[in-house]
Amino acid sequence: MENYCASGMDAFRNACMAVAAGMYECVLALGFEKLRDSGRRGLGTFGNHPVVGHGTTAPSLFAMAANRYFKTYGVTRDVLAKVAVKNHHNGTMSPKAHFQMEVTEEQVLGAPLICSPLGLFDCCPTTDGAAAAIICRADVARSIRSDPLLVKGLGLAVTSGEPYLKPGFAYTGFPATRQAAQSAYEQAGITPKDLDLAEVHDCFTITEILNYEDLGLCPPGEGWRYVADGRASIGGDVPVNPSGGLKSFGHPIGATGIRMIYEVSQQLWHKAGARQVKDAAIGLAHNLGGPGAVGCVTVLGNA
């Protein structure tokens, strides 16, 4: 499977569909990436036009989103720092995380700029990694273990490959995430308020704030307040990225979506240790692919 940053989760989705269709009884979904062998910093972009898009990178695209969000809702870089502080804190409780260190708001705001207003601690690291999940028929699963998890919703949406060139696109949210989430919620028969936790695509701190809004955890323009008020923290309304997210784990592209599913699974099995969300029963995993072009949302539940 190849689908931007949602490749791993889309592989998981296709494995689920193959089992649901009766084609196979048991499927392995594997995601991996040797990103540091790519010969480039992060993902970068390949130019399709001598002027349009020339020199664009992931930080530059999401920096546009941050600047537009600041201007639209009258907030500053301080709100981004709160996401970094939260996720780094959660990462200290994740033995498999790339970064396991606390940071302060002062450190985040004083770090070197990568692409204004995004600084070093606003960006996830360049990381190698792999993750895998096994999907099988419900009756087969119960013969293997007494506590299998149930796939309740699988949403995928694909929009323009270059949404930033689309007239009227405000970059204060991503239609692909909203559409994928709505599909997954409808399949699962839930609303965002029914979630116990969410693992979301925080490739940059601004992305997590936009994800709060696109996933329906709060209204548009309130994402910055959702993290500032502690509602996204472990013990909050719907904890977001209790693992530490991409900010702590990095983003080995093909592995990320399945790594999120692994974290949600640990939470639903109540095996997440110090980062455990109390009484977790329904969890969501979300990928945002490319420049906001692909949204993939998985809802899992325990028995």
Question: Which pair of structure tokens corresponds to residue 69?
Answer: 């969000």
Given pLDDT bands bounded at 50, 70 and 90, which one contains residue 48? low
With 0-12 / 13-18 / 19 or more C-beta atoms within 10 angstroms meaning exposed / middle / buried, residue 147 is exposed
Q: Which residue has the higher pLDDT, 291 or 116?
A: 116
Query: Sign of dihedral through CA atoms 63, 65, 66, 71?
Result: positive
Q: Is the pLDDT of residue 243 over 80?
A: yes
pLDDT at 175: 94
Given pLDDT bands bounded at 50, 70 and 90, which one contains residue 53? low
- The whole-chain average pLDDT of the chain stands at 93
What b-and-e string marks burial along 23-35, b requiring 16 or more CB atoms within 10 Å of the CB? eeeebebbbbbeb
pLDDT at 47: 56
Catalytic machinery residues:
5, 251
- Rounded mean pLDDT, 208-224: 98
Given pLDDT bands bounded at 50, 70 and 90, which one contains residue 229? very high
Given pLDDT bands bounded at 50, 70 and 90, which one contains residue 60? confident
Q: Domains in the chain and their CATH numbers? A: 7-301 (3.40.47.10)
Q: Is the pLDDT of residue 45 over 60?
A: no
Predicted confidence (pLDDT) per residue in 244-270, tens digit: 999 999 999 999 999 999 999 999 999
Predicted confidence (pLDDT) per residue in 61-76, tens digit: 899 999 999 999 999 9
- Rounded mean pLDDT, 8-14: 98
- Rounded mean pLDDT, 50-70: 84
pLDDT at 40: 61
With 0-12 / 13-18 / 19 or more C-beta atoms within 10 angstroms meaning exposed / middle / buried, residue 95 is exposed
With 0-12 / 13-18 / 19 or more C-beta atoms within 10 angstroms meaning exposed / middle / buried, residue 49 is exposed
Side chain identity at residue 273, one-letter code: G
104's CB contacts (< 8 A; 6+ apart) are 85
Q: What is the DSSP letter of 122?
A: G
pLDDT at 50: 65
Percent of the chain with pLDDT over 90: 86
pTM of the model: 0.95
